[in-house]
Chains A and B, each alone.
Chain A
Amino acid sequence: MEDALNEAASRVPDYVLRPVDGTYRRLNPTTKLVIAFSAALVAFGVRGWTGPLVVLAIVVATAAVTRIGRAMRPFVLATIPLIASILLVNTFLYPGAEDVLLRVGPFAATGTGLTEALQASLRVVAFALSVAVFSLTTPTDDLLVDLERRGVGRRGVFVIGSAIRTIPRMVERAGEIVEAQRARGLDTEGSPLRRIRGILPLAGPMILGAVTDVEERTVALEARAFSAPAQRTVIRPIPDSPAQRAVRWSAGLGAAGLVALGIAGILRFP
């Protein structure tokens, strides 16, 4: 009996185990998450050029190693409207700046403004790329399995996992409603009042459906023994190591420390 069970345990199919390839990808997902958060903290929290540039350097190096350069493009492209706005508004309209570089009509581009604009832009790009690295190298499921083990529990993991998988289906349904509305005259170009009035027919059914659906989903979860007190069995073991633990703690504490010291005025970088 024992042997049969042990043998059975080895029959978990590959499409369930979904092993990952690549040194960085094979890191524990929580490690990668802590790295991403630390990078964000440093990019935004360490003011000046150094913070964002260091993060950028690390991110670019990681991207090269994991060969996700191409895939990161959409993440960068998505920040373009924001960066354009940052550059324009801050270069020309930075309050209190006196060092004018050039005048365009009533607006004056200042050196201070430009510096701030460039630094802010760097921050945004560094952040966006740190997000990209995480998203592209960490399957959500791996992260959730690991987080469950670390105390987030089956309920937290269910909420996150289910939300992520519900979104595409909801987008499809919403798309159908929007198309039907367009055919009936919902203007995406018309007056603001018209557009607002178009939202309720879209939002209404979605929310009502959500609340009434909850009953069925609750019952379905209970019917599958979701409230059982036992620890959920792990099907896909996610490896970890003391070395990674050290990396997580140093990255997290290091980032927090740098930011705190910067705020306290003790440690400032160019």
Chain B
Amino acid sequence: MSGMFSTRVIALMPVAIAINIVLGAIVQQYLKLPIYLDSIGTILVGVLAGPIPGAITGVLSNLIWQYAPVIGGGTIGPFAITAGVIGLLAGLWGWLGVYRPRPASGTQLLLSALVGAALVILVVLPIINNPAYTNPDIGGYPDWVYTAAIAIAAIAAVVVAAFIYVRRDLAGLWVAGAGIITGIIAAFVSAPIAAIAFGGVTGSGTDLLVAALRQGGADVLSASLGQGLFSDPIDKTITSFVVFIVLAGVSVRVLARFPLGERLTGGRSA
């Protein structure tokens, strides 16, 4: 059986889909945070088996969560496109060996930690300086939006740097980068969907942010994008780290049997 859809991958996908839906539902109902955590399974499959299985996992998760009896309902269905893109990207990162442990120490480690922090700040700056937040012609924006964004960026930078340094592993840098990029792309894909299908809102707490952005003069699409650029990078980075930490704890023997296993282990032997 072709590697990409070997029995092993076929056995993994249903569990990954279930994880997406169950964790996503728990976070939605109990944890009330501006994150979703409904793509852990998607990224897991992408990293282990490649872009196409990853994409299919994402799309099926959304469709099943929308249409299956008992589980179904809600309005997650149209975002299947975003889920597919996330899976594709995860496959790309897996293929590029982003999730491979890269032990380091001393100056190299310290430097990488600092680079990680700088990376976060660098990436956040253009987002914060998005006209939706800053263009005075549009009418200005509520101060708390800008302050909140800076605070979150600072915390994220510290967390990423600490992660790299404490684990003595450069991979943290790559994983953070992968998570942020995935989040940004996801936000860009989701914004039009939210704007076209759902009047630019999501029905959750982050709609306050959407309202604030519109108050500042942003149009429907920009406001949606502004909200997405806030939630998605955080969500996808946390998700990527969770997947990374868990995979780091799986034995080489088990990892090696997956299609992209070699790229995860970097040829380590048991």
Contacts and interface: CB of A to CB of B under 8 A. Distances in A.
B220 A95 contact: yes
A136, A166, A222 pick with most chain B CB within 10 angstroms: A166
- Interface of B: prevailing SS: helix
A213 to B, nearest CB: 7
Contacts of B15: 163, 166, 210, 213-214, 217
Given A93-B214, A188-B31, A44 B11 contact: no
B27 A217 contact: no
A74 interface: yes
Q: How large is the interface on B (under 10, 10 to 19, 20 to 34, 35 or more residues)?
A: 35 or more
B69 A188 contact: no
B117 interface: no
Interface in A198-221: 198-200, 202-204, 206-208, 210-215, 217-218, 221
Contacts of B73: 74-75, 78, 128, 131-132, 135
Nearest to A162: B14
B106 interface: no
Most buried by A among B15, B19, B31, B66: B15
Interface string A145-163: 0000000000100111111
Contacts of B16: 210
B32 A188 contact: yes
Contacts of B243: 207
A78 B30 contact: no
Contact of A95 (B7, B14, B37, B218): B218
Contacts of A90: 199-201
Contacts of B199: 86, 89-90, 116-117, 120-121
Nearest to B1: A227
A127 B75 contact: yes
B146 interface: no
A89 B205 CA distance: 12
A160 B64 contact: yes
Contacts, number: 208
Interface stretch (B123-131, B166-174, B246-254): B246-254
Contacts of B7: 218, 221-222, 226-227
Given A95-B220, A206-B23, A159 B13 contact: yes
B202 interface: yes
B68 A203 contact: no
A167 B18 contact: yes
Interface string A72-86: 001100110111111
B64 A163 contact: yes
Contact of B71 (A139, A167, A196, A202): A167
A206 B20 CA distance: 11
A178 B30 contact: yes
A155 B5 CA distance: 8
Contacts of B245: 200, 204
Nearest to B241: A200
B13 A202 contact: no
Contact of B11 (A85, A121, A171, A214): A214
Interface in A127-146: 127-128, 131-132, 134-136, 138-140
Interface string A224-237: 00110000000000
A182 B256 CA distance: 37
A59 B10 CA distance: 35
B246 A208 contact: yes
Interface of B: 1, 5, 7-8, 10-19, 21-23, 25-27, 30-33, 35, 37, 40-41, 44, 48, 56, 60-61, 64, 66-75, 77-78, 196-204, 207, 210-211, 214-215, 217-220, 223, 238, 242-243, 245-247, 249-250, 254, 257
- A-B pairs with lowest CB-CB distance, top 6: A82-B203, A120-B199, A162-B14, A163-B14, A163-B17, A217-B11
